[in-house]
Amino acid sequence: DQQVKQNSPSLSVQEGRISILNCDYTNSMFDYFLWYKKYPAEGPTFLISISSIKDKNEDGRFTVFLNKSAKHLSLHIVPSQPGDSAVYFCAASPNYGGSQGNLIFGKGTKLSVKP
Amino acid sequence: ETGVTQSPTHLIKTRGQQVTLRCSSQSGHNTVSWYQQALGQGPQFIFQYYREEENGRGNFPPRFSGLQFPNYSSELNVNALELDDSALYLCASSLVRGGGEQFFGPGTRLTVL
């Protein structure tokens, strides 16, 4: 049973427009959420995170929104650039700084930004 | 600042063999986590080591074992390899134990024939 779901396997966006990647989770005990980007033949690269006590976090072109009541988070990329083309993973943690140590990942969304 | 490194890059083994994968953590990081990523899936947590002690384990059988050394580098050992063990194995290091920001290496691609 998947606890973190990314229901869109792929997304195609025009350069300069907004990319919105979505993620749903089922476990209300998750208290920390992260987004990673992965290029082929590389490991995932940390992008941005958000604690469950916040509903928004911004870092440059990247903004993550968290809706705890809906158990939903989204990553907005504005403006999108061709170099953003990659697979994006949503991850959740049930135990930030604690004794379990695991991140639970979704299956990823492949973003293609067309020039 | 040196990032997370892993060796080897690729590995081919046959069913029943044993394998050891290695990881050097990012400078200053005392925590290492290992993940398995099958094709088309997200990374799945195997276990985490914090200051040489296991700090949580995912749903993997005991033939998956690990070690962390005093310099915080780490090994993942898999015994009695099965075909389903073919995957990308990712190591990640972090400043804090638990589920905060983790920084990944490029991975080791293991193929079991």
Residues of A in Cβ contact (< 8 Å) with B55: 99-101
**Residue A72: helix, strand or coil by DSSP?**
strand
Residues of A in Cβ contact (< 8 Å) with B44: 105
In three state form, how does the secondary structure of B43-103 look? CEEEEEEECCEEEEECCCCCCEEEEECCCCCEEEEECCCCHHHCEEEEEEEECCCCCCCCE
Q: List, run by run, the mean pLDDT of 10-residue segments along chain A (115 residues).
A: 92 98 93 94 93 94 97 98 97 73 91 97
Is the separation of the CB atoms in A31 and A94 below 8 Å?
yes
Distance, CA of B77 to CA of B81 (rounded, Å): 10
pLDDT at B100: 79
* Dihedral of alpha carbons A25, A27, A29, A34, sign: negative
CB-nearest partner of B99 from A4, A32, A46: A32
pLDDT tens-digit readout, B65-112: 999 999 999 999 999 999 999 999 999 999 887 777 899 999 999 999
**Residue A67: helix, strand or coil by DSSP?**
strand
**Hey, are the CB atoms on A102 and B102 less than 8 Å from each other?**
no
**Hey, are the CB atoms on A101 and B41 less than 8 Å from each other?**
no
pLDDT at A61: 98
**In chain B, residues 7-46 whose CB comes closer than 8 Å to chain A:** 31, 33, 35, 40-45
**Hey, are the CB atoms on B55 and A106 less than 8 Å from each other?**
no
The residues near A30 (Cβ < 8 Å, ≥ 6 apart) are A3, A52, A92, A93, A94, A104
pLDDT at A29: 87
| Burial track A96-109 (b if 16+ CB lie within 10 A, e otherwise) | bebebbbbbbbbbb
- CB-based contact, B5 to chain A, within 8 Å: no
Number of CB atoms found within 10 A of residue A22's CB: 17
pLDDT at B86: 97
Residue type, B94: S
